[in-house]
Structure 1
Amino acid sequence: MRLGLFMMPLHPPERPMHATLAEDTEKSLLADRLGFDELWVGEHFSASSEPIPSPLMFMAALAPRTTRLTFATGVINLPNHHPAIVAAEAAQFDHMTGGRFIMGIGPGGLASDFELFGNTEPIARGKRMLEAMDIILRIWAQERPPYDIAGANWSARIVDSVVPELGVGTMPVPFQRPHPPIAITARSLDSFGVKVAAERGWGVVSANFVTTRVVAGHWRTLQAALAANGRPASGENWRVARNFCIAATEAEARARVFDAAGANRYYFHYLSTLARPAGQLATLKPDAETPDEAVTLEQIIADCVIWGSPQGVLDRLVAFRERVGPFGHLLMAGLDWSGPNAAWEQETMRRLAEEVMPRFRQHVAATEGKRAAE
């Protein structure tokens, strides 16, 4: 059971970019010091509230300053990039980190990015994502040119400009062979991404901004898709992201979660405000039958945030895993540090890493051992 930090990141839009980048750097270094295993960083081009266009560039600055973090893109939105550029940059990053890299991919999730790059059709985005990944993998599978890879949207061709003795025409390949681990995000109840991951042997990342019943749906879909592809049902390569708030007492944690100045409240206010007019509120509804107009921010927070004292969070985390399925990795969502939130989240990160996770790992190991013996 590995522990990771997942940052979109998400900040109030009026905050200057240099300030939020510095804050997200500090948060990442804290995660490394506390013993977090992974850092996942998102990619968005057109939102001052989600201000990291290049997660690889951001994480490259962290690589020499960290000792244990594995870096992961959360995610590279492949329809927005030429696959040859992604193949070369990701290979370089994998070498820069000595293989501390997981390549998280997705079709994208920000409407303004869809418009910016002309990818407004959902089915077309999914097809472009898979085509891009196929081209990337074909580039990485070759040790030398020529390359002549064609798809419906892109091509990668180096045939006439090859000078072998000078290395001209040769694309970089990753440090990890045949390639870094690949993971895909899942948001919808019957996720297309989960099915693709099961078919191709990729990892799955269940988003933190979906309700518990949707995460449980991801496991049902994953089980069925793995079985259909002749693979054993396992959550070993399944990551689940959640928001957390941990304090000394239950009352203190609850007050922070629902505080008007709390970053958890801002986080889900932002996401639900975007989701309502887009008709995408379903994944945030604790009860699928609740009409959109009856869904409250408090209901969303209560279902999507695991909060409490260390013992309370451990109990809720155990119950959550029993309900949704046997995920093998836990990702904590990183929040904005405005006002009191820096102290609150730093306490949450420390208590999660030092007080909750050791006992949660013991519980998971005992549970899995018992199942294996049956």
Structure 2
Amino acid sequence: MVDLGFFAMPVHPAEKDYGTVLRQNREALILCDKLGYSEAWIGEHFTSTGEPIPDPLQFLASVIPVTENIRLGTAVLNLPLHHPVKLAGQIAQFDQLSGGRAMLGIGPGGLRSDLEMFGEKVEDGYFKMVESVDIMTALWTGEAPFDIKADYWDDVVLKEFIQKDIGLGLQVKPKQQPHPPFAYAMRQPSSGAMSIIVERDWIPLSGNFIPASSVKAQWQAYCESCEEHGKKPKPDMWRAARSILVADSDSEAEEYVAREDSSMQHYFFYLRSLEARRNMPDASPEERQAVIAERVNEALEQQIVVGSAKTVTDKLIAFRDDVGPFGTLLMTGYDWDDEELWKGSIRKLAEEVMPVVRQHAAATDKAL
């Protein structure tokens, strides 16, 4: 069985009306719930109007009353930017409000402007992330008094002001026990990163902004890490995101993608611009633009799945046969520069494409 989910950073034109951005993203999640998508993931960025969701938990909470079954995940919460004591309480509250639908994609902080504004060091990010998870887990699974030692955060101490009969010193707990599942978004194949995923049974997330060869390498690294730790791989846990557009015809999809002002082109232009600024700090603007243009064209050739329902079905089947048996396909959310086109794509993927993909996956997985 292959589940279908939704992932949005989300990326939008920097000048787009913010109210419209929020409305469209809420409508996307509500539509996904109605169509049977199993989960939706939303990103977190503080210092970019091109990725304008600074509080994914608050945003996701806004759709709790108007959705029924879809699980609601962060992708990702940048843990070095949040005090773990505060975040542990916020996550527990969100999980209770959602009826146990929370999923926790986490990361060390990816947007350099966020890290700069918060005064965080890139080299500390991973260690602060892991330590934050340890602190939150201790709070969710334990009870005061606390004396939690930390290297990258202040020690978490609560010894004196405790009166349990009135609840003083006690922390709220999430509905899911011992806590909602953690997920780690992967970008480059990395056995080191896979090691902590396997050790802690985190959900591995493969991004949509990497080629199929990298997705395949991530699965291989995960399997190798499982073998090293004496565990069996869990393909049902693996999420793989793709940039998908299901149109009425191949020509409609191709013409849309070819437009320089299409949201697909803008999406990769934004990502490659961030990448060029990070990797080419001393290059001239002209040199950067040349590399950005080349990388955008490469992404549009290698990293998107577009066409009619039949074409997209064939491409997704070939993709899964190539990279490995992921348990959930995540459709990437794009700016709704054409609302009907993108709503139709979300619907066609669920109703016309996935039944065939699931049938093929069931047959091939059974044969393994």
Q: TM-score, normalised by structure 1?
A: 0.92
2:228 alignment counterpart: 228
Moved more, 254-263 or 361-370: 254-263
Q: Deviations over 1:48-93 (max 9, x none)?
A: 1111111110111100110111000111111111111111100111
Q: In structure 1, what is the Cα distance between the partners aligned to 2:350 and 2:260? A: 26
Q: Does 1:153 align with 2:113?
A: no
Q: In structure 1, what is the Cα distance between the partners aligned to 2:192 and 2:78? A: 15
Displacement of 1:364:
0.8
1:347 alignment counterpart: 344
Q: Does 1:241 align with 2:241?
A: yes
Across the two proteins, how many residue pairs are aligned to each other?
357
Instruction: Please list every run of 5 or more consecutive structure 1 residues that lacks an aligned counterpart in the other structure.
Output: 281-290
Is the contact made by 2:273 and 2:292 (CA closer than 8 Å) also made in structure 1? no
Change (3 A) 1:269 1:294: closer
5 Å-filtered alignment, 1:290-309, equals 295-309=294-308
Displacement of 1:119:
2.2
Is the contact made by 1:245 and 1:257 (CA closer than 8 Å) also made in structure 2? no
Change (3 A) 1:296 1:126: closer
Q: In structure 1, what is the Cα distance between the partners aligned to 2:64 and 2:279? A: 39
5 Å-filtered alignment, 1:41-120, equals 41-120=42-121
Is the contact made by 1:226 and 1:232 (CA closer than 8 Å) also made in structure 2? yes
Q: In structure 2, what is the Cα distance between the partners aligned to 1:293 and 1:14? A: 21
Q: Deviations over 1:88-121 (max 9, x none)?
A: 1001111111111111111121110111122232
Is the contact made by 2:269 and 2:293 (CA closer than 8 Å) also made in structure 1? no
SS in 1 for 2:277: helix
Is the contact made by 1:111 and 1:120 (CA closer than 8 Å) also made in structure 2? no
Q: In structure 2, what is the Cα distance between the partners aligned to 1:294 and 1:174? A: 46
Identity of aligned residues (%): 38
Displacement of 1:292:
5.3
Is the contact made by 1:258 and 1:298 (CA closer than 8 Å) also made in structure 2? no
Q: In structure 2, what is the Cα distance between the partners aligned to 1:296 and 1:109? A: 19
Q: Which has the higher contact order (CA 8 A, sep 6+)?
A: 2
SS in 2 for 1:19: helix
Instruction: Please list every run of 5 or more consecutive structure 2 residues that lacks an aligned counterpart in the other structure.
Output: 281-289
Displacement of 1:293:
7.6
SS in 2 for 1:44: coil
Q: In structure 2, what is the Cα distance between the partners aligned to 1:192 and 1:255? A: 41
Displacement of 1:192:
4.0
Q: In structure 2, what is the Cα distance between the partners aligned to 1:356 and 1:38? A: 17
Q: In structure 2, what is the Cα distance between the partners aligned to 1:366 and 1:220? A: 22
SS in 2 for 1:75: strand
- Return the letter of the residue paired with 1:244: I
Moved more, 94-103 or 248-257: 248-257
Moved more, 211-220 or 164-173: 211-220
Q: TM-score, normalised by structure 2?
A: 0.93
1:24 alignment counterpart: 25
Displacement of 1:297:
1.9
SS in 2 for 1:53: coil
Q: In structure 2, what is the Cα distance between the partners aligned to 1:34 and 1:324? A: 26
5 Å-filtered alignment, 1:1-374, equals 1-122=2-123, 124-142=124-142, 144-154=143-153, 155-190=155-190, 192-279=192-279, 295-338=294-337, 341-371=338-368
Displacement of 1:191:
5.7
Q: In structure 2, what is the Cα distance between the partners aligned to 1:262 and 1:252? A: 12
Q: In structure 2, what is the Cα distance between the partners aligned to 1:120 and 1:42? A: 20
Displacement of 1:195:
2.4
Is the contact made by 1:4 and 1:37 (CA closer than 8 Å) also made in structure 2? yes
Q: In structure 2, what is the Cα distance between the partners aligned to 1:7 and 1:149? A: 35
Q: In structure 2, what is the Cα distance between the partners aligned to 1:24 and 1:277? A: 28
Moved more, 210-219 or 190-199: 190-199
Is the contact made by 2:269 and 2:292 (CA closer than 8 Å) also made in structure 1? no
Change (3 A) 1:163 1:235: same
Q: In structure 2, what is the Cα distance between the partners aligned to 1:244 and 1:293? A: 21
SS in 2 for 1:68: coil
